[in-house]
Amino acid sequence: MTEVYASNPGFHRATGDFPDPGSVTPEQVASSVAAELAHPAAEVLPARDDADGSLVGLAVTLAEHPDPADPFPWTGLLMVHGSRHRSGLGREIAGLNEERLRARGQDGVRLAVLDSNPGAPAFWRSLGRDRAP
């Protein structure tokens, strides 16, 4: 998982999550993932390459929002290994995640996109998804 995180220094520069985006450590990734999983409805879903089983991406979802008035699950992070950007893998991971949520009876999903990450809205719009203002 560290390799996937480390292969995305531009994302980490945008988020400020890691002090040195060019040198992401396993401990930092473990801490970040643990923080995600601190919420009981959170899931970290690994994406593996069919050919060799290597980790090539991940999605972090929140099966239910903490606000009971919001009935939708959230995708808070979709990350693809930097070497696999623009390969269709992000589209595939997003689609599989949406299928999984539909199988649970969900009819929508919200996207959490940081304003400091301009590539994310473009990616989601390319899939026909958009976020509310």
- The pLDDT score that the predictor gives to residue 121 is 84
Query: pLDDT (tens digit, 9 = 90+) per residue, 5-42?
Result: 999 999 999 888 898 988 999 999 999 999 999 999 99
Task: Quick: pLDDT tens for 81-129.
Answer: 999 999 999 999 999 999 999 999 988 888 888 888 878 888 888 888 7
> What value does the CA radius of gyration of the chain take, rounded to a whole number of Å?
15
Q: CA dist 17 to 11, 58, 74, 116, Å?
A: 9, 17, 20, 12
Say if residue 81 is exposed, middle or buried (CB neighbours under 10 Å; 0-12, 13-18, 19+): buried
Other CB atoms within 10 A of residue 129 CB: 16
**The pLDDT of residue 131:** 54
Average pLDDT of the segment spanning 63-92: 91
Q: Taking a C-beta distance cutoff of 8 angstroms, is the pair 47, 67 a contact?
A: no
